[in-house]
Amino acid sequence: MAGKVWLVGAGPSDAGLLTVRGSQVLAEAQVVVYDALVGAGILNLIPEEAERISVGKRAGCHTMPQEEINRVLCEKALEGKRVVRLKGGDPFLFGRGGEELELLSAHGIPFEVVPGVTSAIAVPAYCGIPVTHRDCASSVHIITGHKRAGETYDIDFEALVRTGGTLVFLMGHKALSEICQGLLLGGMDPKMPAALLMQGTSADQRRIVATVSTLAREAAGQETVTPAIIVVGHVCSYEKQFSWYEKQPLSGHRILVTRPRERSGQLSDRLRRLGAEVLEIAAIQTAPLPVELPAMSEYEYLVFTSPAGVRIFFDRWMEMGRDVRSLGLVRIAAIGPGTARELSMRGIFADLMPEVSDGEHLGILLGETVKDGDRILIPRAKEGNPKLLEEIRKRKQVQITELAIYDTVYGKKEGLVDQKALVEAGKISMAVFTSASTVRGFAAATEGLDYSRVRAVCIGRQTAAAAADLGMETYTAQEATIDSLVECVQTTVKKC
């Protein structure tokens, strides 16, 4: 039975510009065939279990010929798979999407097209350039700037000049001089504003604004990089007045956010709203262990040391046919606000929570609260922090039952985003760690990295200690909350 193929436009780079429909389709993919220009943040959204096939597709460098790409899409669909063809920008704007559909159509394979945000519109917008404006541009014309080596442009430059509209050239970085010269020979005013916009919508976004007669010379005197687009027209003169992206607090910063695989990106969303380019890395995974949970009537205290522990405990609790009424009169302790929040989502409020969110202070609080002879159940990770137990036992004679309900699996070295290479290239402003386990997961995925090059923003003392042990430059949030962690990121950016 044939599967189905979705042609999905991934947009220019910023993961926030992937459409809702594109995100939904990608989450359900069994096979993803992706281009080199797809943003790293979007690549991280590809399901871990999906087969991933890179086909390159940068200008002048194709890992896989187009005919082979078409064949792969067809073969995978005929295997009954849900196949996503993930393309930078929009699949039908110089993306050869039509060619890919021809073979699918010939074989009767169902397909769907999910349009993407094109760089021709988005990148100028991120650079403060409206491609149309009532006062000076009532039309916009998008032209491919790509041509084969040794060939001349098959472009009617005179006709483009006569339109009087904004001209956007995609894939024309290498031919900037020829494009500008063609426009001048076609009759364009040498003083017409023009811009070269590089790596738009990313932390590396940069632009050169000049005139059509001087842009090539200006660009030759600077380091230019791809992907890049060329915009020509009066609208380029608005770039300073309408500039907004660079004015955000975290603009220009690429931040690595490490997290458990199961956690959603509340922290990442907050950082993106402040202008950061965020790469979410699933540094660790929590694997539930097959355990039988005892009756709570056997204990006076139930202690949770992580949000994951809360989720896994209550998932198992319900599997065993129990609900919150089965907790009885047991008192519940949480290590910090995140863990307390997980409890509150189940209608449970923590009786105890230390002011400092770590095992040591939780142990001190419990030791000062419990009575001699009390029984304490601590469902937590297989390898838990011993400080918690030590601090309790210093203060009271109690019966403690440690119950390993999950194991921590560290991040894989293989991945679509090479964290180590990005750090070594100076492309990461900082890494944000939400637990000591995520520090260890990051280290497992970047073995051999010089960790002194990592600026680590940490949620608490134990997390910072784990980062410092590796030689990272550490900064610690004042409180173990998302708000405090975001504030620490902004403070760190100002210091650095």
Instruction: Encode pLDDT of 25-73 as tens digits.
Output: 999 999 999 998 898 889 988 988 899 999 976 555 557 888 999 999 9
Residue-level pLDDT, tens digit, the chain, 496 residues: 679 999 999 999 999 999 999 999 999 999 999 998 898 889 988 988 899 999 976 555 557 888 999 999 999 999 999 999 999 999 999 988 999 999 999 999 999 999 999 999 999 999 999 999 999 999 999 999 876 666 677 789 999 999 999 999 998 888 999 999 999 999 999 999 999 999 999 999 999 999 999 999 999 989 899 999 999 999 999 999 999 999 999 999 999 998 776 665 788 999 999 999 999 887 778 889 999 999 999 999 999 999 999 999 999 999 999 988 899 999 999 999 889 999 999 999 999 999 988 899 999 999 999 999 999 999 998 887 888 999 999 999 999 999 999 988 876 655 677 888 999 999 999 999 988 889 998 998 898 999 999 999 999 888 999 999 999 999 999 988 889 999 999 999 988 7
Give yes or no: residues 419 and 399 share one domain. Answer: no
Contacts 24+ apart (CB under 8 A), 267-271: 267/432, 267/434, 267/482, 267/485, 267/486, 270/482, 270/486, 271/432, 271/486, 271/489
pLDDT value at residue 173: 87
CATH number for the domain harbouring residue 44? 3.40.1010.10
**Residues ≥6 apart with Cβ < 8 Å to 42:** 10, 11, 15, 18, 26, 86
pLDDT of residue 24: 97
CA atoms of 359 and 387, how far apart (whole Å): 6
Same domain, residue pair 302 and 317: yes
| Distance (Å, whole) CA 299 – CA 280 | 39
Residue 50 sits in the same domain as residue 113? yes
Nearest CA to 398 out of 421, 374, 380, 420 is that of 374
Tokens read off for 96: 């050869």
| Catalytic annotation, pick one of 35, 90, 358, 374 | 35
CATH number at residue 444: 3.40.50.10090
Q: Are residues 84 and 133 in the same domain?
A: no
Give yes or no: residues 242 and 135 share one domain.
Answer: yes
Question: Is 87 one of the catalytic residues?
Answer: no
Could you confirm whether 171 is annotated as catalytic?
yes
pLDDT of residue 385: 80
Same domain? For 229 and 322 the reply is no
pLDDT tens for 417-445 read: 788 899 999 999 999 998 888 999 899 88
Tokens of 243: 């500039």
- In the chain, pLDDT over 90 holds for what percent of residues? 74
Residue-level pLDDT at 242 = 96
Which one-letter amino acid corresponds to residue 94? F
Write down which residue in 53, 88, 117 finishes a domain: 117
Same domain, 228 and 135: yes
Domain encompassing residue 298: 289-410
Q: Are residues 157 and 265 in the same domain?
A: no
Q: How far is Cα 41 from Cα 139, in angstroms, rounded to an integer?
A: 32
Report the predicted TM-score, pTM, of the whole model to 2 decimal places: 0.83
Q: Is 450 a known active-site residue?
A: no
Of the three residues 377, 410, 443, the one that is the final residue of a domain is 410
End position of a domain, from candidates 364, 395, 410: 410
Tell me what pLDDT residue 264 has. 57
Q: How far is CA 443 from the centre of its chain?
A: 19
Tokens of 321: 């046919």
- Only one residue has tokens 């637990």, namely 435
262 plus 177 within the same structural domain: no
Beta bridge partners, 255, equal 278, 430
From the candidates 81, 171, 296, 353, give the one annotated as an active-site residue: 171
Rg (CA), the chain: 28
SS3 for the chain is: CCCEEEEEECECCCHHHCCHHHHHHHHCCCEEEECCCCCHHHHCCCCCCCEEEECCCECCECCCCHHHHHHHHHHHHHCCCEEEEEECECCCCCCCHHHHHHHHHHCCCCEEEECCCCHHHHHHHHCCCCCCECCCECCEEEEECCCCCCCCCCCCHHHHHHHCCEEEEECCHHHHHHHHHHHHHCCCCCCCEEEEEECCCCCCCEEEEEECCCHHHHHHCCCCCCCEEEEECHHHHHCCCCCCHHHCCCCCCEEEEEEECCCCCHHHHHHHHCCCEEEEEEEEEEEECCCCCCCHHHCCEEEECCHHHHHHHHHHHHHCCCCHHHHCCCEEEECCHHHHHHHHCCCCCCCECCCCCCHHHHHHHHHHHCCCCCEEEEEEECCCCCHHHHHHHHHCCCEEEEEEEEEEEECCCCCCCCHHHHHHCCCCCEEEECCHHHHHHHHHHCCCCCHHHCEEEECCHHHHHHHHHCCCEEEECCCCCHHHHHHHHHHHHHHC
Same domain membership, residue 112 and residue 54: yes
β pairing state of 166-170 and 140-144: parallel
The number of distinct structural domains making up the chain is 4
Specify whether 78 is located in the same domain as 179: no
Q: Are residues 423 and 282 in the same domain?
A: yes
